[in-house]
Amino acid sequence: MAVRFHNHQRLYKRRKPEIDAAIARVIASGRFDWGDEVPAFEAEFAAWVGAAYAVCVNSGTAALKVALLALDIGPGDEVITVGNTDIASSSSIHHTGGRPVWVEIDPVSKCMDVDALRAAITPRTRAILPVDLYGHPADMKAIMTIAREHNLVVVEDACLSLGATIDGQKIGTFADITCFSFAPVKTSGQLRQRRCSRHAKRRTGRENAQALCLRSGAGPPLHHAWAGRHERPPSRDARAQRAAGRNAGRDPARQAP
Ligand SMILES: Cc1ncc(COP(=O)(O)O)c(C=O)c1O
């Protein structure tokens, strides 16, 4: 029996009336960004996590970068992280001008090894970026203790671990900032990168292939020749643009705002 990795259609069918009504409400309001929905979601999400507040951006990648910038990480700063993760954990550090410093993982948990973390701290270390892998959190209690001892900030990459807990306490309440992701195929993030590189090879022009790959920085599957930015377009927006253009019989790019 084939077991599907994810099945968005099934979830949609189960909750179709609510989802359709919610989308229709947003379209009818004419407020396609910001509006009331964003602060309402932020407040509900923060309450669910048990955090003081939540700030919504457009992806887990953006959240990681914005979090590091908010904590003043910049050129010359070392940020200790792990290598067995999505490229976004390290590329977000790179895009602030900081330098990712990779440490070993614990052989059992597959998350950051706290002894390796201690050994990697130098006078240039400013932050720690642990990754919670596939719903299994890093040892956040030990990591926070080490961070406080050395006056370091912690940005936790929980993009793969929405809803995870440690001793009954939700992830999102340990680190200085915790980043989550709502990407549709989160548990199979690799699939997106593979699709991007296959896509790129099919295209004829090298420039076009590079432009496509800039969305994730992927070369061959899971190889990253440069630090891409995950600038992927939501298909929902592309669909709406196409519909708007066709209905008006005009080029969507020329539509008045
Ligand atoms: C551990 C981890 N961090 C960050 C990201 C990036 O999240 P997003 O795809 O929402 O940009 C991913 C995506 O796969 C991930 O697995």
Smallest CA separation from ligand 1 atom 12, residue: 86
* Residue 211 contacts residue 223 (beta carbons within 8 Å): no
The pLDDT value recorded for residue 228 is: 64
Would you write out the chain's pLDDT as a tens digit for each of its 257 residues? 777 777 778 888 998 999 899 889 888 988 877 778 888 989 999 999 999 989 988 889 999 999 999 999 999 999 999 999 999 999 999 999 999 999 999 999 999 999 999 999 999 999 999 999 999 999 999 999 999 999 999 999 999 999 999 999 999 999 999 999 988 766 433 333 333 333 334 433 444 444 444 445 555 666 666 666 666 656 666 666 667 665 555 554 554 44
The pLDDT value recorded for residue 150 is: 98
Smallest CA separation from ligand 1 atom 14, residue: 189
Cβ of 157 less than 6 Å from ligand 1? yes
The pLDDT value recorded for residue 195 is: 34
- Architecture per CATH, domain 44-183, reads as 3-Layer(aba) Sandwich (3.40)
Q: What does the alpha-carbon distance between residue 70 and residue 59 come to, in Å, rounded to a whole number?
A: 16
Nearest to 218 by CA among 202, 234, 195: 195
Catalytic residues: 186
Q: Report domain extents, the chain.
A: 44-183, 187-231
Query: What is the value of pTM for the model shown?
Result: 0.81
The pLDDT value recorded for residue 177 is: 96
- Distance from Cα 181 to the centre of ligand 1, integer Å: 6
From residue 192, give the alpha-carbon distance in Å to each of 202, 224, 236: 16, 13, 16
Q: What does the alpha-carbon distance between residue 191 and residue 138 come to, in Å, rounded to a whole number?
A: 24
CA of 189, closest atom in ligand 1: 14
Mutate which of 181, 188, 214 for ligand 1? The one with the most ligand atoms within 8 Å of its CB, which is 181
Cβ of 86 less than 6 Å from ligand 1? yes
